[in-house]
Amino acid sequence: PERRKKKNRAAAAIATADRGREAMGAAVAEWTVAAVLLQVAGLSLFLYGFFPVKPTLPGFSGAESYRAPSCGPVGCGEGPALPPDQLRSLYRELSEVPHVYDRLVLMVIDGLPAEFVLGRGGKPPAREMMESMPYTQSLLAGCRAVGYHAKAAPPTVTMPRLKAMVSGAIGGFLDVALNFNTQAFLDDNILDQLHTIGYKLVMLGDETWIKLFPTLFYRQDGVSSFYVKDTVEVDFNVSRHLESELAAKDWDALILHYLGLDHVGHIGGRQSNLMTPKLKEMDDVIRRIHAAVTSIQDNSHRTLLVVVSDHGMTEVGNHGGSSYEETDSLALFIGHSVESSHCSPYDQKEALQV
Ligand SMILES: *[C@@H]1O[C@H](CO)[C@@H](O)[C@H](O)[C@H]1NC(C)=O
């Protein structure tokens, strides 16, 4: 009987130990599940915050935007679609904004920091920079141009920046991942609006524009942004059309997108030996455009020249982030309406580029 009692006690002890191990196993499993769930929740929170799904209203706004919403017997605000020229004059009437220009030249210099043209902290740029862009600097000093530090919202990468500029809405970081696989842009934007009122648009340069707007342009010549090592042909391919396009009177908006300066940055950073010649080249393009558009003095071709950069670059020529160097982009307006007798061109004037 003694031995049996001992055996029983041993068996009971083993059973208790087993039960203990089981309970511990269950607890470990529970903790593991909890930890995994916590990880999943954390990851979702990160993805949701970092790649927010941007809700956009579908479709394009029209003349009804100027009227209070009303539902009459005919329907809800949906008038008949007007032909482009009628829509154009209707907009002019409704907006009550005086009609100052007939045409637009939008010159995008990829990656140009505003600092190179407008200086920093209220001081003019370094002498070397001033001498690299003599014509632009003479326009600024002569109060014939107005420049802004146009703060770009990150991600400071070309495709999301272009979308932001044309639509007025900030893109998400998901756009960076999709930067190489660009699809047609379907949100409401100023280019489609110009097209709707019958503007003829010509596009030369970075083919990202053509990928975003595959059927919009009246004439186009896209330049591949794939060859980052090339700083010459990407810009030559744009400038080779300048003479004929500036002589042509059939377009209403001309978009030029020069990639070379960004490529110079990627190769050698801000201090690259290629930077000064590239700035001179850009300055010369500005001079040519300005000379051409001011020589046409009739009242139906008054032209506004806007020189912008989509983002800046760091000291070593990178971009994408939110540092001052990367977000400090240029917006320079050149046209008869901005000319004045007094100005302080190197005051730090800032504007949000969206
Ligand atoms: C420049 O144009 C030429 C001739 O049209 C073309 O072969 C070349 O690929 C273009 N270069 C770039 C960088 O797009």
Per-residue pLDDT of 62-104, as tens digits, reads 888 877 777 665 555 556 678 999 999 999 898 888 989 999 9
pLDDT at 305 over 90: yes
Most confident of 27-41, 65-79, 177-191: 27-41
Instruction: Please state the pTM of the whole predicted model.
Output: 0.84
> Between these two residues, 182 and 341, which has the higher pLDDT value?
341
Beta bridge partners of 258: 109
* Span from the CA of 234 to the centroid of ligand 1 (angstroms): 8
Q: Closest ligand 1 atom, CA of 224?
A: 14
Q: In what order do the strands lie in the sheet with 145-151?
A: 219-223, 201-206, 253-258, 103-109, 303-308, 328-334, 145-151, 350-352
Asked if 312 contacts 328 with a C-beta cutoff of 8 angstroms, the reply is yes
Residue 270 phi/psi, 5-degree rounding, is -60, -30
- Angle of helix 260-268 relative to helix 275-295, nearest 10 degrees, comes to 170
In which band, very low, low, confident or very high, does the pLDDT at 53 lie, cut at 50, 70 and 90? low
What was the pLDDT predicted at 196? 94
Q: Ligand 1 pocket by C-beta < 6 Å: which residues?
A: 223-224, 227, 230, 233-234, 237
State mean pLDDT over 143-162.
94
Per-residue pLDDT of 223-260, as tens digits, reads: 998 888 999 999 999 999 999 999 999 999 999 999 99
Q: Closest ligand 1 atom, CA of 237?
A: 1
- Going by alpha carbons, the residue nearest to atom 1 of ligand 1 is 237
**Residue type present at position 4:** R
State mean pLDDT over 12-27.
79
State mean pLDDT over 276-295.
97
Residue 328 phi/psi, 5-degree rounding, is -80, 90
What was the pLDDT predicted at 75? 56
- Going by alpha carbons, the residue nearest to atom 5 of ligand 1 is 237
Residue 284 phi/psi, 5-degree rounding, is -70, -35
- Going by alpha carbons, the residue nearest to atom 14 of ligand 1 is 223
% of residues, the chain, pLDDT over 70: 91
Mutate to test the pocket of ligand 1, among 110, 219, 237 (most ligand atoms within 8 A of CB): 237
pLDDT at 39 over 90: yes
